[in-house]
Structure 1
Amino acid sequence: MTNPPDTLPGSSELARFAAELPFALDGFQQRSCEALERGHGVLVCAPTGAGKTVVGEFAVHLALAAGRKCFYTTPIKALSNQKHTDLVRRYGPERIGLLTGDMSVNSDAPVVVMTTEVLRNMLYANSPALHGLSHVVMDEVHFLADRMRGAVWEEVILHLPEDVRLVSLSATVSNAEEFGGWIQTVRGDTTVVVDEHRPVPLWQHVLVGKRMFDLFDYDARSADSQLLVDPDLVRHIAHRREAERLTDFRPPKSDRRGGPNRNHRPTLYRPPSRPDVITALDQEGLLPAITFVFSRAGCDAAVKQCLRSSLRLTTDKDRARIAEVIDRRCGDLPDSDLEVLGYYEWREGLLRGLAAHHAGMLPIFRHTVEELFTAGLVKAVFATETLALGINMPARTVVLERLVKFNGEQHAPLTPGEFTQLTGRAGRRGIDIEGHAVVLWHPDLEPAEVAGLASTRTFPLKSSFAPSYNMTINLVQQMGPEAARRLLERSFAQYQADRSVVGLVRGAERGDRMLDEIASELGGPDSPMIDYVRLRAKISERERAQARASRLQRRGAATDALAALRRGDIITITQGRRGGLAVVLEAAIDSDDPRPLVLTEDRWAGRISSADYSGSAPPLGTMALPKRVEHRQPRVRRDLASALRSAAAGLSVPSAKRKRATPADELDIDPELITLRAAMQSHPAHRVADREAQARIGERYLRVERDNAALRQKIASATNSLARTFDRIVGLLTERGFIDARDSESRDLNATDDGRLLARIYSESDLLVAECLRTGAWNGLAPAELAAVLSAVVFETRGSDGPVSQAHEVPTAGLRRALAQTRRLSGQLRADEIRHRITPTREPDEGFVAAVYRWATTGDLASALQASDATGSGTQLSAGDFVRWCRQVLDLLDQVRNAAPHPPLRAAAKRAIDDVRRGVVAVDGG
């Protein structure tokens, strides 16, 4: 019997590989592996938990069988560690290596697991490790949509040698064919395999109080075969809402004094407590479960709530095994830090089968939770959505407490893609015959809303690729500007932009047809009425511009007046709620946004801005102030307000309510405005009988014309947009001496010595770091000072409106000088970036300076965490965040150690690495 054309003979490598597996290959795995063995690249899109990594493991098998190399890349260190463990278990430690930036194990092995950034850096450095490479696996390749790190995927895909076979593993995305089409254009023959079938079926539920309902009526479907919402669920919720409505008619309850309590609104709805929810799941046989809570504090609070209850989910035997894992994992933690880390409460939670999981946890705590949960010893985990990103922690059930999460700017509804990714954790292959997703009901939740999320299975993949300074300098070094532009034009970002142009062009063509139709109503495009309406639009715009200029002028005058105020000045606040007399307690520090501290005659103390003080009149006079004013004490404010009124007695004090009148003809001083108005009055269309009716048609013409112009601008922007950004960056780097242009048209470009320095800095603030290194801004610093100043360019205050500046708390003069120079260089760079129309580099954030300095000098975790409260708000970094930022500082220190042009600075970086990598920072949680 002969084999069908698309199958391979029994003696193939695939047959040998499959024979070693404890399960039979699914259809999509078989198709993907067959394509790989035929020499194709593959893109595999399948749901979470479907078994995509088997295809990656077959690439490892093929490389080893051929005596070649395979690199297995993942987006995050935790995934790399996990994959390394899996492959070592299968192939032995001598054939598997690991490279994650701060970890290097057996890096010369034929199979190396690494983070994607490591491979990108290898490609730019033309590392000898690339010789003999036959396969690269890119796990979680859909991560290229990530704003911060997505570009790395595309850089790797574009730079890999042509003979390397690429295996891309992705979650199910709705534009898999588009993504696959792009990979085919840049990598050659690529087979796209899409599978939307979940190997473990997923059932959707809604928990209303303590009652569990199916979300769908799985026995009924609509005319178009869509699942219908379970009528029992709809009826139950309707009854609850009716009962809730009826409570509104009851008289209000009396308060303790016997009178009616008007603030009390009776309600039947009580959200179930976390212990109640876990108990309900346990009774239904739905544990282990992951409950997604979209805040770190919420996850920790959930565990505490459960610990306060009698909830216990483990047996004595479980507890013994859990204790053994905790002791093995955490044995290297210093005893002195255990209390600070919340170790004992965390341990108690684990012993009872409960845990939190989020990025703010100490890495070793987080990985201990992962090990125990995967082993089935922890039954209930409360996690943020970061757990959904690739970490292999499937559960029988996933619980969503809410369908809204904070996206960094506002609370926004979950997208279908986010819902799919989160609920995709439910159902353990080979353990569960089905998975369950449970949404907790509350009065604002509509079952149809959940049904809409649950029935939309996929989400689109959108590129976040854009040239950076480091990428640009490396491209110039590697291939020259013309080849670099061609490479950028081949990126997925440009591929998507070019495809979007097709729709934009159609829109612009529709707009042209509409313009012709509207113009025909007025007698054609040369109609006097269209000209007249344009004239009126110019007048309106000119008036608005003049009003804006007047406002800016007044604001500028107020800013100058605020900056000029000195301690002891008596002023009148003429605007806002704080109107009246005030005395300046502290002059403004920032001249760009001056906010002096004042005390008003009404005893209010605070900082005022241009919204409060117009500066239209000079200070009324001055008064003497004590050397130190404790303005937060009510008694001090009272005495000072009294002294202010006494000092102001006899002074001419204008009314706080009096406003400067604006002359009615002030706007008419603009000669161009006068000319335009005269032209409008004399225009022939001004005297047309039905002028306003025709003018409305003309205004519609202008609106469509404006919209069309915007579409045309979008079309122009989308075409070759990345190459234009590259050219702007080249212009700035040339201007700053990182690139040497040999001719006036910049066709012959070379990286200078400073450019080669920049090429070795991989940081979000790469150019700022390179500027600080080449100008000597960080020379002469002690190791702890160097670690502290580097933290300012990597740290980002979580959830803040901007970077924290705390120059007055900086511990040493040398560090203050270095931070001031870093800020100055940052300001100059941002000004140049704005001039070149490049997205400005993030400003330095000093919120971690004191903490990392304290850690590097003392190694005392408690005092380092205390120092992390940069703003004095009482909010310290969590231990996990502290360790994460320390490791980012270590990564940049390592780059400085390798790239800094001055030997003493390199030596300081080397010593700083030893000072920071200790205690909890050195304990590896992988």
Structure 2
Amino acid sequence: MSEHGLSSRDPLDLPLSILEVGVAGRVELITDPPKEKGSICPLSTVPHGLPPYEVDVSYEVIQKYLGDPEWLSMHHFDRSERSWPRTVDSPSLLHMEVTAAHMELSVERNPATGELLGITEVLVDHTGLSAQNSLSLRRPPGPPTQSVRGSTSNFPFWPGGMDEPTLEQMKTVTEQEEVVDFENDLLTVPPGWKQGMNFRPTDVRRPLGVLPLTSLLGALDDFSLGDSSEDEEDVKRRVQPGKEDKKETLARSDSLEELGVTTASAPAPPPPASLPVDAANEQWAVPLNMYDPVDDFYKVIPQLAFKHPFELDPFQKKAVQCLEAGSSVFIAAHTSAGKTVVAEYAIALSLKHMTRTIYTSPIKALSNQKFRDFKNTFGDVGLITGDVQLYTGAACLIMTTEILRSMLYNGSDVVRDLEWVIFDEVHYINDAERGVVWEEVLIMLPDHVNIILLSATVPNTVEFADWIGRIKKKKIYVISTTRRPVPLEHFLYTGNSQKTQNQFFLLQDASGAFQTKGYYAAVDAKKERSSKYSQTFGARHPHGGGAGHDKGTWLSLVQSLRQRDALPVVVFTFSRVRCEQNAAALTTLDLCNTSERSEVQTYYTKCLSRLRAEDRRLPQVLYMLDLLKRGIGIHHSGILPILKEVVEMLFSRGLVKILFATETFAMGVNMPARTVVFDSIRKHDGSMFRDLTPGEYIQMAGRAGRRGLDNTGMVIILCKSDVPEMSDLHKMMLGKPTHLHSQFRLTYSMILNLLRVEALRVEDMMKRSFAESRMQKDSKAHEQRIKLLTKSLRDMGDIECTGDLADLPDYFVTVNELIHTRELLQKRVVESINGMKCLSVGRVVIIRTDYHPWVPGVILQVSSDATNRVYTTLVLSEKRKGGGAEPGEKEKTSPPTPDDLLMGKVFRPEGPSDHKLLKLHATDVLLVTGKTLRVHADKVLDDIARSQTPRYRNDPPGPAVSAVTQELSRLSDLPPGSLTSLCPVNDLQLKDMDVVEAVSRVRRLEGALRGFSCPNSPRFNTQYRLVEQRSNLMDELDRLRFLTSDQALSLLPEYQQRVKVLRTLQYIDDGGAVQLKGRVACEVSSHELLVTELVLDGALSPLTPEEIAALLSCLVFQHKTQCEPRLTDTLKEGIKKVRALAERLAEVQRQCGLKESVEDYVAQYKFGLTEVVYEWARGMPFSEIMTLTDIQEGLIVRCVQRLDEACRDVRSAARLVGDATLCAKMDSTSQLIKRDIVFAASLYTQ
């Protein structure tokens, strides 16, 4: 077959069949085809048929001819290939789909008789819509393959609460758009024609003619004398069409059946509370009082959608009432308080209403756990994660928040049927890396979707709910409770041996009271033991006694808890290494009996039975089995995912007595323990060591206490070395939990996904972020204020400034600029070192008061507050007579004149002089003079304080005050110009460019003041106040317009910089339209710029699938390793290309204004797992993989799983650009890495 070519079968060739005759192996050729399906006679009489001697000819021909064209013989090509002439069908190129009709005919009939009254044309909205051009829910569904995850070419559905563009906004023409007026600028005369169409309205006049008698008789036939089928009001409107009926008539029924008695359906229960609506200050968050009884719960809701086997708590009943009313709720409660009950009821409601619910969680492991729980309860539940999609058509879908964000951006049709979206662990929004995802999802959800938020207790629940309600324009009912179903008792433990194993000291009782007595008792016990130890063995290391000391502590603690029947216990340890060390210290214990060990062995073997034999012999697998048989478990990110699930399931069964876990275990499903132990109250958060925050401590401590089993939960803080400070413990245990803060940030993916939809703007997304909630909260009030100010300006009209007032506007501008420049200059003087030295006690300064613009004073005291320094100053004043006003105070409203602004004669009292003590800031000081006085400041202040008392109020000033007053009066008598001010440049040596320019500007403005003639006009005061009033109105109007504009957004500069980056890299054009590179980037979920450049530059195409997987590992690996990978030359060259490309991208970002340095941007791509991934893709067993690196097993598995998601992103990008070779390689790459224990199915999905 390989030497001779076979020609293709001709339609005229005869068919050929082989028939076996007899049992001796004789065969005959049959040329007649069978007349029916099947054979004419049996093809074989041998019991097992003819032995196979060669591959079926037809199969081999099809495989080689169609699957491998290179096999075709070049010597017999005339017999190997045959072509048929193609029939040309040119008209098929002219085929065009019929445009959907924009109008339809509506028939109007008499409702009683069915008589045809008329036919009218009705405009049909939403025609020609599709997922690629519309954000409407009325658009047709997309292909079934895109129904769940959507497509990057789809438009998202219109976000709820976001106003659609107004007519004025749509008429706004951008710089790139051509102005075309379709009403006035249309051409009506075609080229070469003398005249064209005339669109001007004309009056149509009908000529008078002779009316035929038949038409008149026909009109009489149509005249009705009160037919019962015709409404009297219709007759009146027909007779008097120009008049409108001003009285409402009773509604009439079109059918007699509708007049019968109907049964009233039970109305939906109203929300428990509501707030008055105010257009400007509407409160969208409605807090519900948890102390109000819910006695009428079963009367309002007689038939529950889901019945629990226990009585609901009050907060759960209030939440159920809100759900039945179709309202959104925000529930903040402690761990294990029963928040999941609300989620379960929402799922049951969606099943009842035949709608859908999405449950989102922050981590994939929690999604798997919730899938198992809800699947057992409801059945119709699906799961969507990065690598698993189960039952995607179910009524309830479990997924991570990132998956939901992708579905919203990609216009998934699942959103159409959504009734509820449940956000679990909402306090995770504080996560700096992933918190932005929650805000994006909340903003993008359509209007018909209701929201359920489940969170731990946070202080600003109302603020957060008000933000959500404002952006979605719907009420959010806040249900917050601090009650725990099982109260907690907190202890300090100082024991470390059998003698001291019962040293538990109560620090906080079940009522929440802090026990100071218990704290001091723990301190005394620690000191006593340290003293005895130092007397016997010498001084101990201040931080504890090392591993041996820790082992003694754990052994004594576990024995004591075992005797108290306080197991199981969860030990929170903030280090993976410490978890394993603590577990190793208890290997001498055996906390399980024989039957429990047998059950652990059986269950462990069953769970791992699907793994390969060599994977079941991994060191971590064998070590974990030995620990679990002793009743000890370990749970952290370094453990294999399947082993973590085994530990969780055994813990829920009560077979794990003590579990050493990191903080992530506190975010899992409801797995409470009898006791919670803190190995330490300090953790490393990635940048530094710090104490636990109150929110972190409450979240982990809440795992103590099993509802229905324990009266109280036990929380223990180990004191291995010294007892923590009381203030630190009090702050951690009784302090307020961390507020919910916005972590909103701009990403290239978000910008590109919004730019590809013209109707959505990135600025609108930023406006609706939680970071801008306070600014947007006042936006309606600002808009109303803008309308009022605009009306006031319109009513004010133009101000007359003619004649000698012609220069009044310029004079007003000059005065305000001078005052503003002086304030800025004075601020710089005070902030300088020399300025602070000059503004000391005894310095003479000039200030402006209500009674004179130039008043001398002397500084008596300077506050120590560096940020807001206050100067206590004694100034001259006029002595009051009979308690009247200061002379000249009535003139304080007069406008400033050049004499007021230019220093001339300083204030001198006309009669007896007096004094005032003022508290001044730096901006209140006009001039700092070169004069200083020797004053006894303390005596002066004492004299003034003494004169303020009622007994000495009428006494003359003290000698110290009199001396200062006389000295100031003497300075006032000096000729004008004698009191010179210190020059900031020459005297204070301030050589900054802005200071020098400010001094020069002040001198120029002071010189210009003398040249104005308007101050001499008799109408100066009146007209100046009008100009000032108009200027203040315009300034306030400009300020409010700025606050309501996009320019007030805090992230707008960064957005403009990122847009500049995208424009430079040609992801978008100058008009903001997304180009091919931008659409490719939309396919990528993370590191979109680098992945897009790698695909379009062709850097991955020449590589093998194994090498591609190794290089892409830099996108998912973020840990540190001490092992240097051994790489091939191709991989080394590939790493250089990736880093060079990253440097180029970072340099573009830096040139466009972004602050991230080139080094930091390149350093985020780590290649420490390159060799591991390369060998794994080549088929190396996992046991040998662990010899190549010091990274723990669980971290490797997690990185390879995330790598598969990155491979799918690259495959989608390659498909979009038409790179079939790379697309096929990415499929191969995914297949190579998806094997064995790394991609073992979750136990929760089995």
TM-score with structure 2 setting the length: 0.54
Which of 505, 508, 517 matches 1:231? 517
- Structure 1 Cα separation of the partners of residues 929 and 721 of structure 2: 55
> Corresponding residue for 2:584?
304
Question: Aligned partners of 1:756, 1:441: CA distance in 2, in Å?
Answer: 57
The answer to whether the Cα contact below 8 Å between 2:489 and 2:508 also exists between their aligned partners in 1 is no
Pick aligned residue for 1:760 from 1061, 1080, 1083 = 1083
Pairwise mapping of residues 415-430 of structure 1 onto structure 2 (< 5 A)? 415-430=693-708
Question: Could you say which residue in structure 1 is the equivalent of 2:1064?
Answer: 735
User: Any conservation in 1 of the 2:522–2:723 contact (CA below 8 Å)?
Assistant: no
Distance in structure 1 (CA, Å) of the matches to 2:748 and 2:340: 34
Deviation at 1:443, TM superposition (A): 4.0
- 2-side partners of 1:155 and 1:166: how far apart? 14
Partner amino acid for 2:742?
S
Matches of 1:718 and 1:196, distance apart in 2: 41
Tell me the residue number matched to 1:208.
494
- Change beyond 3 A, Cα 1:164–1:516: same
Corresponding residue for residue 554 of structure 2: 274
Alpha-carbon distance in structure 2 between the residues aligned to 1:247 and 1:851: 50
Query: Comparing 908-917 with 313-322, which one deviates more in the overlay?
Result: 313-322
Q: Distance in 2 between matches of 1:372 and 1:121?
A: 35
How far apart, CA to CA, are the structure 2 residues paired with 1:441 and 1:246? 17
Q: Of residues 165, 174, 189 in structure 1, which corresponds to 2:475?
A: 189
Does the aligned pair in 2 maintain the 1:14–1:34 contact within 8 Å? no
Q: Which residue of 300, 310, 326 corresponds with 1:23?
A: 310
Query: What is the 5 A alignment of 1:139-178?
Result: 139-178=424-463
Distance in 1, matches of 2:576 and 2:929, equals 62
Please report how far the alpha carbon of residue 832 of structure 1 lies from its aligned counterpart in structure 2 after TM superposition.
1.4
Post-superposition offset of 1:363: 0.1
1:704-725 CA deviation, whole Å, 9 max, x = no partner?
xxxxxxxxxx999994122332
Distance 1:360 1:791 in 2: 18
**Identity percentage of aligned residues:** 30
2:753 corresponds in structure 1 to 474
Shift of 1:374: 1.0
Structure 1 CA distance for aligned equivalents of residues 364 and 450 of structure 2: 23
Matching of residue 826 in structure 1 with residue 1147 in structure 2: no
Specify the code of the residue in structure 1 equivalent to 2:1132. R
* Bigger Cα displacement from structure 2, 451-460 vs 508-517: 508-517
Q: Cα deviations across residues 730-766 of structure 1 (Å, max 9, x unaligned)?
A: 1111111111223xxxxxx221111111111001x22
SS of the residue 2:1061 aligns to: helix
Total equivalences in the alignment: 711
Query: What does residue range 407-418 of structure 1 map to in structure 2 within 5 Å?
Result: 407-418=685-696
Work out the CA distance in 1 between the residues paired with 2:1228 and 2:503.
Answer: 59
CA–CA separation in structure 1 for the residues paired with 2:756 and 2:383: 28
SS at structure 2 position matched to 1:478: coil
Partner of 2:1240: 923
| Aligned with residue 535 of structure 1, among 983, 989, 996 | 989
Q: 1:135: which partner in 2?
A: 420
Contact kept, 8 Å, 1:217 with 1:228, in 2: the verdict is yes
1:853 corresponding residue in structure 2: 1174
1:514 maps to which of 902, 921, 934? 921
Measured in 2, the distance between the counterparts of 1:487 and 1:265 equals 53
Contact 2:676 2:704 in 1 (8 A): yes
Cross-structure match for 1:890 = 1204
Deviation at residue 169 of structure 1 after TM alignment = 0.8
Counterparts of 1:512-911 in structure 2, within 5 Å, are: 514-517=921-924, 527-528=981-982, 530-532=984-986, 535-536=989-990, 538=992, 719-742=1048-1071, 749-763=1072-1086, 765-798=1087-1120, 809-813=1126-1130, 815-838=1131-1154, 840=1156, 841=1161, 843-867=1164-1188, 869=1189, 876-900=1190-1214, 901=1217, 902-911=1219-1228
Correspondence for 1:53 among 336, 340, 348: 340
Partner residue in 2 for 1:459: 738
**Contact 1:151/1:464, CA 8 A, preserved across alignment:** yes
| Deviation (angstroms), 1:836 | 2.3
Map 1:111-126 to 2 at 5 A.
Answer: 111-126=396-411
Match of 1:569 in 2: none
Deviation of residue 805 (structure 1)? 8.4
**For the structure 1 residues 340 and 490, does the alpha-carbon distance in structure 2 shift closer, same or farther, using more than 3 Å as the test?**
same
Matches of 1:495 and 1:415, distance apart in 2: 25
**TM-superposed deviation, 1:794:** 2.0
* Structure with higher helix content: 1
Over the aligned positions, Cα root-mean-square deviation in angstroms equals 3.6
- TM-score of the two chains, using structure 1 as the length reference: 0.71
Confirm or deny: 8 A CA contact 1:247 1:267 kept in the other structure: no
Of 262-271 and 471-480, deviating more is 262-271
Preserved CA contact (<8 Å) 1:397 1:435: yes
In structure 2, the partner of 1:620 is none
Change (3 A) 1:776 1:472: same
* Cα distance change, pair 247–89 in 1 and its aligned pair in 2 (3 A): closer
Give 1:846's aligned amino acid. Answer: F
Alpha-carbon shift at residue 236 of structure 1 (Å) = 4.6
Unaligned runs of 5+ in 2: 1-266, 273-293, 496-500, 780-864, 871-919, 932-978, 1000-1042
- State the distance in 1 between where 2:697 and 2:1047 align: 31
The partner residue of 1:403 within 674, 681, 694 is 681
Cα displacement string for residues 291-322 of structure 1 (whole angstroms, at most 9, x for unaligned residues): 11111111111111111x2x111122222221
Is the 8 Å Cα contact of residues 14 and 58 (structure 1) preserved in structure 2? no
Aligned partners of 2:1044 and 2:714: how far apart in 1?
A: 46
DSSP 3-state at the match of 1:750: coil
CA shift for structure 1 position 14: 7.8
Task: Give the alignment partner of residue 366 of structure 2, picking from 79, 93, 96.
Answer: 79
Instruction: Give the stretch that moved more between structures: 434-443 or 911-920.
Output: 434-443
Which deviates the most, 780-789 or 522-531?
A: 522-531
Unmatched 5+ stretches in structure 1: 254-261, 502-506, 543-671, 677-713, 743-748, 870-875
Q: For the Cα contact (< 8 Å) 2:693–2:737, is it kept in 1?
A: no
| Pairs within 5 Å for 1:54-69 | 54-69=341-356
Structure having the higher Rg: 2
Kept after mapping to 2: 8 A contact 1:341/1:879: no
- The 8 Å contact of residues 789 and 849 in structure 1, kept in 2 or not, is answered as yes
Shift of 1:373: 0.4
Q: Which amino acid aligns with 1:91?
A: F
Alignment check: 8 A CA contact 1:859 1:919 kept:
no
CA offset at residue 389 of structure 1? 2.1
- Pair 436,792 (structure 1): closer, same or farther in 2 beyond 3 Å: same
User: Could you say if the C-alpha distance between residues 526 and 343 of structure 1 is closer, same or farther in structure 2, counting changes exceeding 3 Å?
Assistant: farther
* Superposition deviation, residue 380 in structure 1: 0.3
Distance 1:517 1:44 in 2: 50
For residue 330 of structure 2, give the secondary structure of its aligned residue in structure 1: strand
| Structure 2 CA distance for partners of 1:236 and 1:454, relative to 1, 3 Å | closer
In structure 2, distance between residues paired with 1:753 and 1:150: 29
Counterpart of 1:855, as a letter, is W
Partners of 1:350 and 1:378 within 8 A in 2: yes
Rounded Cα–Cα distance in structure 1 between residues aligned with 2:1047 and 2:734? 33
Bigger relative CO (Cα 8 Å, ≥ 6 apart): 1
Deviation at 1:366, TM superposition (A): 0.5
